[in-house]
Structure 1
Amino acid sequence: MSGLGDVLAIARKARGLTQSELADLVGTTQPTINRYEAGDRDPDPQTVAALAEALGVTEQLLTHGNRFRGALAVDAHMRRQKTTKASLWRQMEARLNLLRVHASFLFEEISIRSEQHVPTFDPDDVPAQHAARLIRAQWRMPLGPVVNLTRWLEGAGVLVFEEDFGTHRIDGLSQWVGDHPVMLINASAPPDRKRLTKAHELGHLVLHSNVATDDMESEANRFAAELLMPLDEIRAELRKVDLGSLVALKREWGVSMQALVERAHAIKTVTPEQRTRFYKMMNARGWKTNEPGGEFIPAERPEFPTRIGDALLAKGFTEERIAQIAGAATTDGNPFKPTPINRLRAL
């Protein structure tokens, strides 16, 4: 068997297609697609070509399953609301897994080195807050607010991608591909929420890559809070919390007012009653999903994937060849597409 089944299923789900819809696109039947995905039958070369074209990937990527390092189609760590439809979060999970396959396919051709790395800890031995402090120490992060968290993540070899998920109910998700973690973040979220999501997903990668616990979401939240708002450094600023101070602290620390209130509540400088009043005020003003002050938080744009494309372009590869290396059928579908300015220079 070719190992095509898992990659085929991932690519199909990532495109939001049912087995019947894919079958119609390639001129076959749903039971046949099911047999391909189950590994009970291998398609002939003509059908592989048709499947690849319908899914926007190369034929080589479809047969990549036997060479993929690590499990395919794994459950992703995901920051989402509990009421999110299963079909929606399963599609985003497939999108992440397809990015993992693209990255693994590319890493067979090139080697990526990073200044730092993402360590992993057993949460039974290393509490979430302590793990966050260890990360800050190992990465030599300066005291105070984290400036451009995305850059710190990419400096540790994390591939960060942003896409508009078409919903506010899913913030982001993450998993490993070989030695490199991959994050997929909702591009439509405000900058402060994206930063918290990235810190939350880093917590999952650090704490839950080798072990699952009963309290993973809370552990990731505690990790994110300590990473972005170290208790020893922010405690004094949370002694008095009101609307004016929250807006100022949001601008300084790059986190939402809600995250600041939750931090203050955790260290008991905000009472449960004050916390309840705060959320009632937020709801009354329509700020629960659109807080003020977001315009003061700089947007953090991922650069690592395009830098990989730029490096290959500088070595003389064409855009079409770079897409092929990443397993994408077209240059537009290449997640490692070079930046526009470098593409123009190469013409």
Structure 2
Amino acid sequence: MFNKLRFSLARRRRGMKKRELAEKLSVTERSVSGYESGDQTPERGTLARIAETLRFPEAFFFGDDPEVFEPDTASFRSLSKMTSAQRDSALGAGAVALLLDQWMDSRFTLPEPDVPNLGREGGSALPPLPHGTSEEPEPYPGREGAQDPEAAAAMLRAHWKLGEAPIKNMIALLESKGVRVYSLAIDAKEVDAFSLWKGGKPYVFLNTFKSAEHCRFDAAHELGHLVLHQHAMAQGPDLEREANAFASALLMPRSSVMALAPRTPTLPALIKFKKHWSVSVAALNYRLHAIGLTSEWTYRTLCIQIAKSGFRTSEPEGVAHEKSLVLEKVFAALRKEGVTKAAVAKEINILVDEINELTFGLMLNVLKGGGDSDEPKSRAPLRLVKG
């Protein structure tokens, strides 16, 4: 039967209002509402137009009920700046990615989550403190009951045995700890990233239209939400500030910055030294001020220079974008088995381009072609090992 939930998901994925979709389908807005409520089923010709307009195969609308991401369960960095259509499109992309994720889970053994709860709200035990500290840190002088983001970042580095070294690949690190990472590919500056827990698994979704440094910070920011706010509301300015502080401390450990940062901070010096941590000049400028290495006047002066140079939108001497190593291994294993991208798309009932947008462009880069008639072969589950 025609699945009303899948129809609603497809409409929201494309960021369409009911009236807009009705006009494109040459039906009434009441009919579209009827399709979503289950009170009405589209006729054959209308179904074909639905599939073409929403860019989903017809078979997609006849699958099982999908799991849907609700707005109040996801952490959005710029929720106040987003339109409802942009938010729905991002959440719709996440729900579609979950279908792909479930398909991969049935065929591959992926890393199990190792993402500790470092938020005080949950009352769970914290990992051992770093550097042999025996006493618990002082309460965070911010949101009541909140964990100090700086201390939490140090705890997580200790828990994951990262030391003080720069994190070479944030996406690979998250994946190695069982975080499922997908790309959004939404060309809207208001949509940065979001994260959530679903079925005991942590998910992070990154907008790949941002600079590589921006994406790395977004990944660390969302990790902050995952470890600090498991038992808190997913949104709010206080939580965003805590996730920002966590990301800054995780990517640029205090002792590392104290030892290596320029003693006479200038914009050219920031551009030179930011490469060590693979962060933006703006992020390094903020971190230097946060740990007391620059005055308020120096920090503000550098902020102005960064903005005037256009470095808030175009990063100087930028690094290469990171991509998913787990997804690359999945597609490589499928290619070795002779599975084409068309076969994968047919089994999940999602178009190849849609899957490619969710997988950092890896589907088209790794999997070969093949006609729509290619059938996926049954095979035993494959295990992906950390590499």
TM-score bracket relative to the smaller structure: 0.7 to 0.9
Choose which of 228, 231, 245 in structure 2 pairs with 1:207: 228
Question: Are the aligned partners of 1:309 and 1:322 in contact in 2 as well (CA < 8 Å)?
Answer: no
Secondary structure at the aligned position of 1:299 is classed as coil
Shift, 1:58, TM fit: 4.5
Aligned pairs (5 A) from 1:226-241: 226-238=249-261, 240-241=263-264
Distance 2:341 2:313 in 1: 39
The secondary structure found in structure 1 opposite 2:192 is strand
For residues 207 and 325 of structure 1, what CA distance do their matches in structure 2 show? Answer: 37
Structure 1 position 186 matched with structure 2 position 185: no
Distance 2:47 2:109 in 1: 30
What's the CA shift string for 1:261-289, capped at 9, x where partnerless?
Answer: 21122222222222111112223333333
Whether the 8 Å contact between 1:172 and 1:197 is mirrored in structure 2 is: yes
2:183 corresponds to: 162
Aligned length: 339
Equivalent residue, structure 1, for 2:316:
292
2:161 maps to a residue whose letter is R
SS of residue paired to 2:312:
coil
Deviations 1:99-125 (A, max 9, x none): 234433x25633432166333343435
Q: 1:343 aligns with which of 346, 360, 368?
A: 368
Aligned to 1:103: 101
Cα offsets for 1:161-189 (capped at 9, x unmatched): 33543233332222334344333322222
Distance between the aligned counterparts of 2:271 and 2:189, measured in 1? Answer: 23
The aligned residue for residue 279 of structure 1 is: 303
3-state DSSP class of the match of 1:161?
strand
In structure 2, distance between residues paired with 1:240 and 1:116: 40
Q: Cα 1:58–1:122, aligned 2, differ >3 Å: closer, same or farther?
A: farther
State yes or no: 1:264 paired with 2:288.
yes
Corresponding residue of 2:126: none
The answer on whether the counterparts of 1:159 and 1:182 sit within 8 Å (CA) in structure 2 is: yes
Partner residue of 1:113? 110
More displaced stretch, 93-102 vs 250-259: 93-102
From 23, 40, 43, the equivalent of 2:41 is 43
Where 1:96 maps in the other structure, the secondary structure is helix
- Check conservation: 1:4, 1:63, Cα contact below 8 A: yes
Report the Cα offset of residue 224 of structure 1.
0.5
For 2:333 and 2:341, locate their aligned partners in 1 and report how far apart those are by CA, in whole Å.
11
Alignment correspondent of 1:4: 3
- Matched letter for residue 14 of structure 1: R
Match of 2:134 in 1: none
- Identity over aligned pairs, percent: 25
- Structural RMSD (CA): 3.3
Structure 2 residue runs without a partner (length 5+): 124-146, 375-387
Deviation of residue 45 (structure 1)? Answer: 8.3
Question: Which whole-Å CA distance do the structure 2 matches of 1:4 and 1:134 have between them?
Answer: 46
Residue 42 and residue 205 in structure 1: after superposition, are their counterparts in 2 closer, same or farther (change >3 A)? Answer: farther
Greater mean alpha carbon deviation, residues 132-141 or residues 57-66? 57-66
**Which residue number corresponds to residue 16 of structure 1?**
15
Secondary structure class of the residue paired with 1:343: coil
* Worse-superposed segment, 91-100 or 53-62: 53-62
Tell me the equivalent position of 1:308.
330
Deviations 1:230-251 (CA, angstroms, capped at 9, x unpaired):
1132223347241243222201
Question: Contact 1:160–1:182 at 8 Å: present in 2 too?
Answer: yes
Residue of structure 1 equivalent to 2:151: 130
Distance 1:112 1:50 in 2: 38
Q: Is 235-244 or 276-285 further displaced after alignment?
A: 235-244
Matches of 2:247 and 2:2, distance apart in 1: 38
Who is 2:348 aligned against?
A: 326
- Give the secondary-structure state (helix, strand or coil) at the position aligned to 1:170: coil
Given that 2:180 and 2:202 are in contact with CA atoms closer than 8 Å, whether structure 1 keeps it comes out as yes
How far is 1:345 from its partner? 11
Q: Does 1:255 align with 2:252?
A: no
Is the contact between residue 61 and residue 102 of structure 1 (CA under 8 Å) also seen in structure 2?
no
8 Å Cα contact 2:111/2:177 also seen in 1: yes
Q: Give the TM-score, by structure 2 length.
A: 0.74
* Distance in 1 of aligned mates of 2:192 and 2:59: 31
Q: CA deviation at 1:217?
A: 0.0
**Alignment correspondent of 2:173:** 152
In the aligned structure 2, how far is the partner of 1:74 from the partner of 1:155? 27
Mapped to 1, the partners of 2:367 and 2:94 lie a distance apart of 27
Paired residue secondary structure (1:334): helix
Aligned to 1:222: 245
1:79 aligns with 2:77: yes
Distance 1:49 1:179 in 2: 37
